[in-house]
């Protein structure tokens, strides 16, 4: 996108057109109060800004429509915006027309047919801006931000109060939300992140959520499987107590299920141990008592370990406090000769009451550190002991649950068998319970396996997406591009003879400023002196950015507009009126600025345009070619005839071109 024309309309048909050459340096020169600076605000308003910043007065009183004619990669666009209504501070009303051979329209053809949001969306797509959406970090209160023409245009303007400002580098950077928007979208405009990065981040967030769910499902399946193990053990105890099997021990769940299936299939009235059921109950009771005692012992051991934890923490705090008091002894140089005990180790003066020697204090410090290391080294062993006790307690509780379940079932079997043949009916009852539970227990192992497979698949997807949105890789991509831009900045800063330019100049995207790396450390722009340096660093930064945008075909408008970049070199009103410089040094500095702009434009021709509104008017052919018809000396943006009522000589059309 480059600017072809800026057009101002009156309702009576008058039109004022300011034309610019594409792929070239354009200079609008003239004295103060001729409307040069208003051009930047008019273009920004036409590109979709809702709150115009056009200076109030002659322009806003006499202009009914503002318009720009734009050259886009594949077509032209004519964008017109009506003046604000009475009392309004913003408007979204706009007009947009597209066409390959489009020219500026007549005032009679102007009408609102869209709004600013649609204008920016349409122009953004034509510039090549993809649907990039920046997703703030998790937990942030900021909303996602879509990159568009609004953010790209911030890289194309430097207002009069910005181009020589040491505290801000980008257009409107000091406005609320603009600084963060630049930080969020600049990596995209530099090409450091893919346009679908936000989609990938969202997919990664969803994949991580699915992974957490899969892990929860697996944990539930494993808990269920553990419960099954307890139930299987209880069934084994029941079957053994009922005489259906001859062992209660099974090396695995599959073997236990095989034994239980054999118990179900055993012929009726067949008993392994005959009438020894009472003995089995006594045996179960005998096994329960040691388990309960073991749990009490484990609880006592855990209490002892936790008491040690509390005492060690108190001791550790005391030792660390003492070490902090003694650490200052390390300030005494080790190579220095240690004075007698009655002398101060710092100043050498004689003490009335001698203190401990440096060596004694140092030895005490070493002992304390050794003691502290000993306390800390015991911590992993204590934690391992606690884990072991927990495992033992879990195992004992599981066995107790199995024994209690078996005893409860035996008691239930006793009540059931009161009016029946005890052994036969009890075994039938046990077979029915075992068969019913086996039917429910069979899928447990398969369920855990399925859940484990689901977790592995979810983890693979998370790992794959995480590689695509790796913040470290993204940071490296940004640094790589900034290094390329910084090399241009450094080279041009030396050509302009800027302060601190001899070493390395770079962009700092975190603080949105220029930084000079010197032997004494980084020097940001706000610590560099003189307005000449501020202007120079603004210029090299934006030229380097746009050179990179063009070379890498990034979706940023192909123009840079600067308002009054030579303001620091016009100390007197006489110089401003004439556009000439009384000091030769000022003349050469300004000449270097414009030569740099010209050279960059020529290198990138026809893909880059620079528009400068300034007092300077150099007597050189290349500069006068850049001025062309845009010399505002004796001519104003708003012709005087527009301000005269009922002027008989008024004409419609391009009055004042």
Q: What is the model's pLDDT at position 262? A: 72
Q: What is the model's pLDDT at position 296? A: 84
Q: What is the model's pLDDT at position 417? A: 47
Q: What is the model's pLDDT at position 462? A: 79
Residue 240 inside a domain? The answer is: yes
Q: What is the model's pLDDT at position 175? A: 92
pTM of the model: 0.61
Burial, 267: exposed, middle or buried (Cβ in 10 Å; 0-12, 13-18, 19+)?
Answer: exposed
- Distance linking the first and last C-alpha atoms of the chain: 23
Tally of structural domains, the chain: 1
CB contact set of 610 (below 8 Å; sequence gap of 6+): 24, 25, 26, 559, 560, 561, 562, 597, 600, 601
Q: What is the model's pLDDT at position 45? A: 96
Q: Judge whether 441 and 228 are in contact, CB under 8 Å.
A: yes
Residue 373 inside a domain? The answer is: yes
pLDDT digits (tens, 9 = 90+) for 268-317: 554 444 445 666 677 777 777 787 888 788 888 878 877 766 666 666 66
Q: What is the model's pLDDT at position 475? A: 82
Confidence of residue 532 (pLDDT cuts 50, 70, 90): very high
Report the mean per-residue pLDDT for the chain.
Answer: 80
pLDDT digits (tens, 9 = 90+) for 137-160: 555 556 566 778 999 999 999 999
Residue 148 inside a domain? The answer is: no
pLDDT digits (tens, 9 = 90+) for 166-176: 999 999 999 98
Residue 93, number of CB atoms within 10 A of its CB: 16
b/e per residue 323-332 (b: at least 16 CB within 10 A): eeebeebeee
Residue 584 inside a domain? The answer is: no
Confidence of residue 356 (pLDDT cuts 50, 70, 90): low
| Residue in this structure with the two tokens 């990669």, named with its chain if needed | 73
Higher pLDDT: 469 or 220? It is 220
Q: What is the model's pLDDT at position 647? A: 47
**What are the two backbone dihedrals, phi and then psi, of residue 8, each rounded to the nearest 5 degrees?**
-115, 140
User: Which range scores top for mean pLDDT: 32-41, 320-329, 366-375?
Assistant: 32-41
Asked whether residue 90 carries a pLDDT value surpassing 60, the answer given is yes
| Residue-number span of the structural domain to which 453 is assigned | 209-465
Q: What is the model's pLDDT at position 73? A: 92
Q: What is the model's pLDDT at position 420? A: 43
DSSP lists the bridge partners of residue 523 as: 516
User: Which range scores top for mean pLDDT: 233-247, 320-334, 415-429?
Assistant: 233-247
Residue 285 inside a domain? The answer is: yes
pLDDT digits (tens, 9 = 90+) for 425-463: 666 776 766 766 667 665 555 577 888 888 888 888 878
């Amino acid at each position: 996108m480059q600017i072809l024309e800026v057009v101002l309309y009156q309702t009576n048909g008058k039109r004022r057109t300011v034309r610019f050459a594409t792929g070239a340096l354009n200079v609008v020169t003239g004295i103060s109060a001729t409307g040069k600076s208003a051009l930047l605000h008019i273009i920004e308003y036409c590109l979709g800004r809702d709150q115009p910043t056009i200076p109030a007065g002659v322009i806003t009183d006499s202009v009914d429509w503002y318009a720009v004619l734009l050259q886009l990669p594949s077509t032209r666009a004519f964008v017109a915006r009506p003046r604000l209504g009475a009392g309004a501070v913003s408007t979204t009303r706009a007009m947009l027309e597209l066409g390959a051979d489009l020219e500026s329209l007549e005032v009679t053809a102007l009408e609102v047919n869209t709004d600013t949001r649609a204008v920016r969306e349409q122009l953004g797509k034509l510039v090549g801006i993809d649907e990039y959406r920046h997703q703030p970090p998790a937990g942030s209160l900021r909303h996602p931000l879509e990159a568009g023409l609004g953010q790209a245009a911030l890289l194309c303007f430097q207002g009069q109060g910005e181009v020589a400002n040491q505290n801000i580098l980008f257009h409107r950077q000091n406005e609320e939300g603009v600084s963060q928007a630049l930080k969020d979208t600049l990596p995209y405009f530099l090409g450091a992140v893919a346009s679908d990065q936000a989609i990938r981040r969202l997919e990664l967030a969803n994949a991580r959520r699915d992974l957490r769910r899969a892990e929860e499902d697996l944990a539930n399946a494993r808990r269920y499987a553990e419960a099954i193990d307890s139930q299987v053990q209880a069934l084994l105890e029941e079957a053994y107590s009922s005489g259906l099997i001859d062992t209660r021990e099974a090396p695995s769940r599959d073997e236990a299920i095989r034994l239980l299936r054999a118990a179900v299939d055993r012929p009726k009235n067949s008993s392994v141990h005959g009438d020894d059921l009472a003995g089995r109950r006594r045996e179960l009771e005998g096994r329960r008592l040691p388990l309960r005692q073991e749990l009490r012992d484990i609880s006592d051991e855990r209490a002892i370990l936790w008491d040690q934890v509390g005492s060690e923490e108190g001791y550790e705090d005391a030792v660390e406090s003492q070490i902090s008091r003694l650490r200052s002894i390390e300030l005494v140089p080790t190579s220095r000769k240690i004075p007698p005990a009655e002398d101060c180790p710092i100043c050498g003066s004689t003490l009335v009451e001698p203190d401990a020697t440096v060596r004694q204090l140092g030895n005490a410090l070493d002992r304390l550190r050794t003691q502290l290391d000993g306390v800390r080294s015991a911590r992993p062993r204590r934690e391992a002991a606690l884990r072991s006790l927990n495992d033992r307690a879990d195992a004992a509780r599981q066995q107790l649950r199995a024994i209690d379940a078996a005893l409860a079932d035996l008691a239930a079997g006793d009540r059931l068998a009161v009016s029946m043949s005890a052994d036969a009916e009890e075994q039938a009852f046990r077979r029915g319970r075992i068969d019913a539970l086996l039917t429910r227990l069979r899928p447990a192992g398969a369920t855990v396996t399925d859940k484990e497979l689901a977790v592995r698949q979810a983890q693979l997807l998370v790992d794959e997406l995480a590689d695509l949105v790796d913040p470290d890789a993204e940071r490296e991509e940004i640094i790589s591009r900034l290094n390329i831009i910084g090399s241009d900045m450094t080279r041009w800063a030396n050509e302009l003879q800027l302060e601190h330019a001899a070493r390395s100049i770079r962009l700092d995207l975190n603080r949105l400023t220029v930084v000079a790396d010197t032997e004494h450390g980084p020097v940001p722009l706000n610590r560099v002196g003189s307005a000449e340096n501020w202007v120079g660093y603004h210029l090299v930064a934006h030229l380097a950015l746009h050179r990179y945008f063009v070379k890498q075909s990034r979706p940023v408008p192909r123009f840079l507009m600067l308002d009054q970049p030579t303001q620091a070199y016009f100390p007197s009103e006489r110089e401003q009126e004439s556009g000439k410089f009384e000091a030769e040094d000022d003349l050469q500095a300004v000449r270097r600025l414009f030569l740099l702009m010209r050279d960059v434009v020529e290198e990138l021709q026809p893909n880059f345009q620079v528009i400068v509104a300034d007092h300077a008017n150099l007597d050189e052919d290349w500069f006068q070619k850049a001025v062309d018809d845009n010399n505002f000396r004796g001519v104003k943006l708003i012709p005087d005839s527009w301000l005269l009522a009922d002027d008989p000589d008024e004409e419609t059309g391009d009055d004042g071109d």
